[in-house]
Amino acid sequence: MIILLRWILLPFTLIYHSIIWLRNLLYDKKILKSKSFKTPIIVIGNLAIGGTGKSPLTEYLIRLLKDKYKIATLSRGYGRKTKGFRYVDLNSTALEVGDEPLQFKSKFPEITVAIQEDRCAGIEQLQDDHEVIILDDAYQHRKLNPGFSILLFDFNSLMKPILTLPTGDFRDVFSSTKRADLIIITKCPEHITSKQKEHIEHLIRKYNTAPIFYTKIAYDTPLDPQGEYLKDKLENKEIVLFCGIANPKPLVEYLINKGNTVKLVKFSDHYNFKTTDFDRIKTEFDALSSSNKIILTTEKDMQRTDTSYFNNYPLYYIPIHLQSADHQQITFDHFIENYISQNLN
């Protein structure tokens, strides 16, 4: 029914596509102005809605660069209830700064994490005190002309018809691929066929000859709110999994493939949990018959979870990271470091 409705909305898709195409054209022709900066600026983004792995890539770049340069991350702070520029600190809440910036600061307290809807204004606040600024989810922010753009595509999004909203899943026209300096295909299957790669590269090479890298999501050992690892293996358990992310399907499949039974409690992306939601999750957990059971969530969702509601409950979150699927990690690192070394003041 939903698929049929989306196709019925095809005329609105054509209107939306035309508006986005015209906006991009005005920026490409410099009728609408973009601002450049001398400080090396790395932008991470995607064209489609839903999770593509921008946060794991941001964290990967932080690990790569934080010991060599004074870096800052700048995000919009999606889901926050505040406005304007703010620094993120360890006492911030997700309602103040957004879940992803809070996650970055919690994992890397030594770096600067900031939020600002207007990315150019945010960069102006940060540039004098930082050597590199990483922008999470700013590919469509055309007021900014970044020094280096990394574009992410979910593997499955390229296996379906490429259409803009509301019929398709793309919030930008596919020709915007041409602005990317590097392209990463994320959430790849364990074994990618030559035919699948040929299909992907045929789509992208119409607009861009930039290097293409293939990655997959790797799941780490679950941690409790105090940072202690799950003591036994994540296998053959009954799990209540609650998620407020765009696409929990890969995580659900990962857990089931390890022999677990999963009860999914799904919320909208960046959802701000209420106490009634926590009560529902605990009720679902109490209803499980097995003694070998846990409550699990994502690292991003944990930033929005009041863990005090789960005292005496086995609550864990599962971190993720990007893993190369084509053994080209060193080559990717070289592109990033080469850009920075050539553009430092």
Per-residue confidence band for 60, with pLDDT thresholds at 50, 70 and 90? very high
What pLDDT score was predicted for residue 5? 78
- Owning domain of residue 31: 2-218+324-343
Task: Region of 83 please: left (phi>0), alpha (psi -120 to 50) or beta.
Answer: beta
Q: Which residues contact 83 (CB under 8 A, 6 or more apart)?
A: 117
Cα separation, 3 vs 18, whole angstroms: 22
- Mean predicted confidence (pLDDT) in 100-120: 97
CA dist list (Å): 4 to 11, 30, 54, 160, 167: 13, 39, 30, 15, 9
Give the tens place of pLDDT for each residue, 276-303: 999 999 999 999 999 999 999 999 999 9
Q: Return the HEC string of 27-77.
A: HHCCCCCCECCCCCEEEEEECECCCCCHHHHHHHHHHHHCCCCCEEEEECC
Residues 228 and 139 in one domain: no
Residues 335 and 274 in one domain: no
The pLDDT of residue 182 is above 80 = yes
What pLDDT score was predicted for residue 7? 86
Place of tokens 């304007």: 84
Short-list 244, 243, 229, 237, CA closest to 261: 237
Percent share of the chain, pLDDT over 90: 93
Residues 30 and 117 in one domain: yes
**DSSP 8-state symbol, 160:** S
Give the pair of three-digit tokens for residue 113. Answer: 């994490």
What pLDDT score was predicted for residue 219? 96
Contact 239, 260 (CB under 8 A): yes
Give the tens place of pLDDT for each residue, 77-93: 998 999 999 999 999 99
- Residue 2, classed as helix, strand or coil, is helix
Contact 296, 222 (CB under 8 A): yes
- Residue 248, classed as helix, strand or coil, is coil
Residues 211 and 234 in one domain: no
Peptide bond into 166 cis (omega under 30): yes
Q: Domain with 42 in it: what CATH number?
A: 3.40.50.300
Residues 175 and 226 in one domain: no
Residues 100 and 228 in one domain: no
Mean pLDDT for the chain overall: 95
What pLDDT score was predicted for residue 6? 86
Give the pair of three-digit tokens for residue 187. Answer: 């959430």
What is 254-307 written as a DSSP string? HHHHTT-EEEEEE--TT----HHHHHHHHHHHHT---SSEEEEEEHHHHTT--G
What pLDDT score was predicted for residue 3? 76
Cα separation, 5 vs 123, whole angstroms: 41
Short-list 260, 265, 261, CA closest to 243: 265
Residues 18 and 166 in one domain: yes
Q: Which residues contact 5 (CB under 8 A, 6 or more apart)?
A: none
Cα separation, 345 vs 335, whole angstroms: 18
The pLDDT of residue 246 is above 90 = no
Give the tens place of pLDDT for each residue, 45-57: 999 988 899 999 9
Q: How many domains does the chain have?
A: 2
Short-list 38, 41, 35, CA closest to 134: 41
- Mean predicted confidence (pLDDT) in 123-133: 97
- Mean predicted confidence (pLDDT) in 174-188: 97
Residues 137 and 243 in one domain: no
Percent share of the chain, pLDDT over 70: 99
The pLDDT of residue 1 is above 70 = no
Q: Domain with 225 in it: what CATH number?
A: 3.40.50
Length of the chain: 345
Q: Taking the CB of residue 125, how many other CB atoms lie within 10 A of it?
A: 15
Cα separation, 232 vs 39, whole angstroms: 46
Residues 190 and 229 in one domain: no
- Residue 319, classed as helix, strand or coil, is coil
Residues 233 and 298 in one domain: yes
- Mean predicted confidence (pLDDT) in 19-24: 97
Place of tokens 């035919």: 195
Residues 177 and 113 in one domain: yes
Residues 136 and 18 in one domain: yes
Per DSSP bridges, beta strands 112-115 and 86-87 are antiparallel
